[in-house]
Amino acid sequence: MAGMAVAAPLRTYGAAEDRARILRAAPAEASLRSSAAVPARVWAYDAQVPGPLLRVRQGEAVRVRLENGIEQPTTVHWHGIRIDNRMDGVAGLTQDAVPPGETFDYAFTVPDAGTFWYHPHNRSWEQVARGLQGVLIVDEPEPPTVDQDIVLVVDDWRLTDDGQIDEASFGHLHDWSHAGRLGNELTVNGRPRFDVPVRAGERLRVRLVNTANARIMNLRFEAHTLMLIAVDGQPVQPRPVPDGELRLGPGQRVDLMIDMSLDPGSRAAFTEVTGGGRLVAGEFVYATDSVARDNPLDAPVRLTTNPLPTRLELDGATRVDLLMEGGAMGGMAGAIHDGKEMTIRQLVREKRMAWAFNGVAGMSEAPLVTAKRGQTVVIHMRNQTAWPHAMHLHGHHARELMRSGAPVTDETWRDTVMLEREEDVAVAFVADNPGRWMLHCHMLEHQVAGMTTWFEVVS
Ligand code: C2O
Ligand code: CU
pLDDT digits (tens, 9 = 90+) for 175-191: 999 999 999 999 999 99
Position 256 in a domain: yes
So what's the pLDDT on residue 15? 42
Q: Are residues 263 and 349 in the same domain?
A: no
Q: Exposure of 240 by Cβ count < 10 A (0-12 exposed, 13-18 middle, 19+ buried)?
A: exposed
Domain boundary among 108, 139, 170: 139
The pLDDT of residue 95 is above 70: yes
Position 284 in a domain: yes
Q: Are residues 49 and 175 in the same domain?
A: no
Contacts of 451 by beta carbon, 8 Å cutoff, 6+ apart: 324, 326, 355, 356, 357, 389, 440, 441, 443
CA distance 44 to 50: 7
Structural domain including 210 reads: 148-290
CA distances from 302 to 4, 80, 144, 255, 348 (A): 20, 21, 7, 11, 49
Residue nearest to atom 3 of ligand 1 (CA): 79
Q: Are residues 261 and 335 in the same domain?
A: no
- Average pLDDT over the chain reads 93
* Ligand 1 atom at minimal distance to the Cα of residue 416: 1
The pLDDT of residue 10 is above 60: no
Is 218 in contact with 271 (CB distance < 8 Å)?
no
pLDDT digits (tens, 9 = 90+) for 383-392: 999 999 999 9
Q: Are residues 134 and 178 in the same domain?
A: no
Position 296 in a domain: no
pTM: 0.95
CA distance 233 to 60: 16
The CB of 121 under 6 Å from ligand 1? The reply is yes
Rounded percentage of the chain residues whose pLDDT exceeds 90: 87
So what's the pLDDT on residue 85? 98
CA distance 289 to 144: 24
Domain boundary among 110, 139, 168: 139
Q: Are residues 105 and 152 in the same domain?
A: no
Domain boundary among 77, 109, 139: 139
Q: What number is the average pLDDT over the span 365-380?
A: 97
In this structure, the number of other CB atoms found within 10 A of the CB of residue 329 comes to 10
Q: Are residues 245 and 340 in the same domain?
A: no
Q: Which helix (H) or strand (E) holds 124?
A: helix 124-127
With b for 16 or more beta-carbon neighbours within 10 A and e for fewer, the 281-314 pattern comes to bbbbebeeebbeeeeebeebbebeebebbeebee
Instruction: Report the candidate in 188, 206, 182 with the shortest Cα–Cα distance to residue 259.
Output: 206
* Ligand 1 atom at minimal distance to the Cα of residue 80: 1
Q: Are residues 123 and 189 in the same domain?
A: no
CA distances from 131 to 38, 167, 238 (A): 17, 13, 33
Position 116 in a domain: yes
Q: Are residues 58 and 175 in the same domain?
A: no
So what's the pLDDT on residue 6? 37
The CB of 120 under 6 Å from ligand 1? The reply is no
Q: Are residues 441 and 335 in the same domain?
A: yes
In this structure, the number of other CB atoms found within 10 A of the CB of residue 37 comes to 7
Residue nearest to atom 1 of ligand 1 (CA): 79
pLDDT digits (tens, 9 = 90+) for 237-278: 999 999 889 999 999 999 999 999 999 999 999 999 987 789
Q: Are residues 234 and 172 in the same domain?
A: yes
- Per the structure, the count of domains in the chain is 3
Instruction: Report the candidate in 185, 160, 250, 238 with the shortest Cα–Cα distance to residue 214.
Output: 250
In this structure, the number of other CB atoms found within 10 A of the CB of residue 138 comes to 23
Position 398 in a domain: yes
Q: Are residues 388 and 357 in the same domain?
A: yes
CA distance 250 to 244: 19
CA distance 351 to 369: 25
The CB of 446 under 6 Å from ligand 1? The reply is no
Q: For residue 453, what is the domain's CATH number?
A: 2.60.40.420
So what's the pLDDT on residue 9? 37
Position 1 in a domain: no
Position 324 in a domain: yes
pLDDT digits (tens, 9 = 90+) for 326-360: 999 999 999 999 999 999 999 999 999 999 999 99
CA distances from 112 to 120, 209, 233, 397 (A): 21, 17, 8, 11
* Ligand 1 atom at minimal distance to the Cα of residue 117: 1
- Residue 305 phi/psi, 5-degree rounding, is -75, 155
Q: Are residues 231 and 260 in the same domain?
A: yes
Position 91 in a domain: yes
